[in-house]
A and B are shown apart, each in its own frame.
Chain A
Amino acid sequence: MHQRHQDWWARHHQHHDHHPGFLGRGSGDPLRRDLANRLGGGVAAGIAEWRGIGVTKVRIVFALVALVSSGIGVALYVLAWLFLPAKGEETAEEETSIAHKARTDSAGIRLAVGLASLLVVVLLAAGALNDGWFISWVWPQVFSVAGLTLIWRNASPEEQETLRHLVEPVGGAPAPGRTDRRTVLRLVIASVLLLGGVGWLFAGHESLAMLRPLAGVLLVLASIVLFLGPWWLRIARELVLERQARVRAEERSDMAARIHDSVLQTLALIQRRADDPAKVIQLARLQERELRSWLFEGRGLDEAEGDTTLTAGVRQIQQDVESRYGVPVEAVMVGDCDLDESLSALLAAAREATVNAAKWSGAGVISLFAEVEPGEVSVVVRDRGKGFDPSAVPADRKGVAESIHGRMTRRGGTAQVSSEPGEGTKVTLKMPRSGTASRSGSLGRT
């Protein structure tokens, strides 16, 4: 049920929020990080799947944006990682993006702010030296580091593993606590070099007095971040929750409208027709099929896109005969293919045979079987009704059999009618296939 709900939700969501056709054909699912296909947080893979573009292209775009925007792309990526839930994790009630957990993780936020403020120091120090390039490059990194910290603390173990893997080349430590001496030495030397470099830059500038207003600015910024950071996160959370609630409400009202239009109407009809069992069965079957096609195939009968495939055509016959003659038609379809002229003729013949069975056989149910094979398409219409003796059919009643037969033979097909009084009737129609590509088996999507 959950799965079905999700499918439906996804379609619904697409209908309202996304615009199919914009940037390729998407999967129709909402945007989710795709952990199965990730390099980092699975953001690129998620976008690729969402829009139906190659993941490599998305990654290249990300890398270019990160370079051109002097790091803003990186910050965006980290934010996406933080706020997008991973695929398959969504539950109805709870946002499962890392941001959700992070919001309640005050220690994590403090840590993030702390690390960010450390970077801010570096940034301001650099700013003091009027190095514009460095400044524009560092700001995004502040956000990235803060975001990554939160991700680190709140992500699932699996994602922490990814982070560890990504960080490994920097720290050289596959897991905390296992840092060997050489790594420590390397990091220490790097820090010393960095400090020395910054110190040298300062010394080079020879105006330490500039650092005084700088310290003030630093304090103000740090306090702003400390004061407003949680508030920003809360705003983000509320936006996310509000959007989810809106989507759910739309979903509910859409479903209510659908059930009202179809199921309740039919139930009302059934109550009024309670004295006519045949009509009641017919109504119930019609409703059942409509509901089924809506639930399982994501479209109502009224939205069906013409008879462009064999399966759709057979379904159409089933519906028409059931609603017009009140006889249930059990349709079984094996494989599918696009219609061409000769297959349309086959369908017309099948329709005629089915209508005949419904009108004359008196059978309680008609079986309609269609199979697509590589070389030919066959349709069998069968009933267990009263049957007839083919040789005893008067000449003026042969029109029906002739029209079925004629339709088939004109296109190179065959029609075989076998019947015996009391034994029912079976009409077997076979049509050789022209070169149309098969959509049988696993490709048989409609």
Chain B
Amino acid sequence: MNMPRVVLVDDHGLFRSGVRAELGKQVEVVGEAEDVQPAIELIGTLKPDVVLLDVHMPGGGGQAVIQAVKATHPDVRFLALSASDAPEDVIAVIRAGARGYVTKTISTDELADAVRRVAAGDAVFSHRLAGFVLDAFAAAPPPDGVKPSFDPELEQLTSRERDVLRLIAQGYTYKEIAKELFISVKTVESHVSSVLRKLQLSTRHQLTRWAAERRLT
């Protein structure tokens, strides 16, 4: 399998060089940017497979990069990296279109694995994000008066998706999940992608409000 071409976008130079050194053998790091505008231009010229994107950056953060690039290069995929775990940021960057979210404390091998998954079009959830999603979708269904979405399917998780998310939240790898649930890794991947889709397309206001409330506590 070809090594995925990766662009790093992070305002900490130290972090970029660290990731570049660690990932160097497993992915091809083709460029780095430290700010929103340069990142958008760089991604436009290099057209990488995956952009490793810091959630927090001066000038609009990861969200701004995703929104700008998605408009012109819809096939560039984003994996969000963050030190913060603040639900609001995580949900926002996912809803902007990132294919996954991992924390900066992730091990090198896991990060490389996550990059490959995102490059292949799959979704990657950190255990923390899996917890957030379970929490957000566990909230009571929209109260009366809130218009249900055009597609009720989008508004809740299937029990299988819940199972998968629970195991991710417990630190299981996709392979371990497949074994535990007696399904194939491919099926696990498709469950996670489907959760990602719901997360991005769900119209329930609660998702945003939930994240905002979490942030404020």
Contact = CB atoms under 8 A, between A and B. Distances in A.
B1 interface: no
Among B85, B138, B213: residue with most chain A CB under 10 A: B138
A426 B130 CA distance: 19
Contacts of B213: 442, 445
A297 interface: yes
A287 interface: no
A333 B214 contact: no
Given A332-B128, A371-B166, A441 B217 contact: no
Given A7-B216, A334-B138, A367-B127, A442 B170 contact: no
A75 B78 CA distance: 56
Interface string B129-142: 01100111011100
Contacts, number: 66
Interface string A377-402: 00010101000000000000000000
Contacts of A384: 171
A441 B136 contact: yes
Interface in B73-128: 84-86, 127-128
Interface in B171-217: 171-172, 206, 209-210, 213-217
B205 to A, nearest CB: 10
A125 B127 CA distance: 78
Contacts of A442: 136, 139-140, 206, 209-210, 213
A334 B171 contact: no
A333 B131 contact: yes
B56 interface: yes
Interface string A413-446: 0000000000000100000000000001111111
A236 interface: no
B39 interface: no
Contact of B169 (A296, A369, A441): A369
Contacts of B172: 382
A10 B79 CA distance: 33
A399 to B, nearest CB: 26
B56 A444 contact: no
Contacts of B128: 330, 332
Most buried by A among B56, B169, B215: B169
Nearest to B58: A1
A444 B171 contact: no
A441 B157 CA distance: 14
A365 interface: yes
A interface SS class? mixed
A335 interface: yes
Of B136, B170, B214, the most chain A CB neighbours within 10 A belong to B170
Contacts of A367: 127, 170-171
B100 to A, nearest CB: 16
B169 A334 contact: yes
Nearest to A10: B216
A365 to B, nearest CB: 7
A444 B172 CA distance: 25
Contacts of B127: 330, 332, 367
Contacts of A444: 135, 214
Interface string A356-381: 00000000010101010100000010
A398 B42 CA distance: 60
Interface string A308-347: 0000000000000000000000101111000000000000
Contacts of A332: 127-128, 130-131, 169-170
A330 B139 contact: no
A365 B127 CA distance: 13
Contacts of B85: 292
Contacts of A297: 217
Contacts of B216: 7
B215 A296 contact: yes
Contacts of B215: 296
A107 to B, nearest CB: 38
Given A441-B210, A442-B213, A444-B214, A382 B170 contact: yes
A254 to B, nearest CB: 20
Nearest to A428: B170
A335 B134 CA distance: 9
Nearest to B215: A296
Contact of A330 (B134, B138, B171): B171
Nearest to B171: A367
A333 B138 CA distance: 12
B60 to A, nearest CB: 12
Given A334-B135, A335-B138, A446-B217, 17 more contacts: A296-B84, A332-B131, A332-B169, A332-B170, A333-B131, A333-B135, A365-B171, A367-B171, A369-B169, A371-B166, A382-B172, A440-B138, A440-B139, A441-B136, A441-B206, A442-B206, A445-B217
The 5 A-B residue pairs with the shortest CB-CB distance in the complex, in nearest-first order: A441-B139, A367-B171, A332-B131, A332-B169, A442-B210
18 contacts: A1-B56, A296-B84, A297-B217, A332-B169, A334-B135, A334-B169, A365-B171, A367-B127, A367-B171, A369-B169, A382-B170, A382-B171, A441-B136, A442-B136, A442-B210, A442-B213, A443-B139, A445-B213
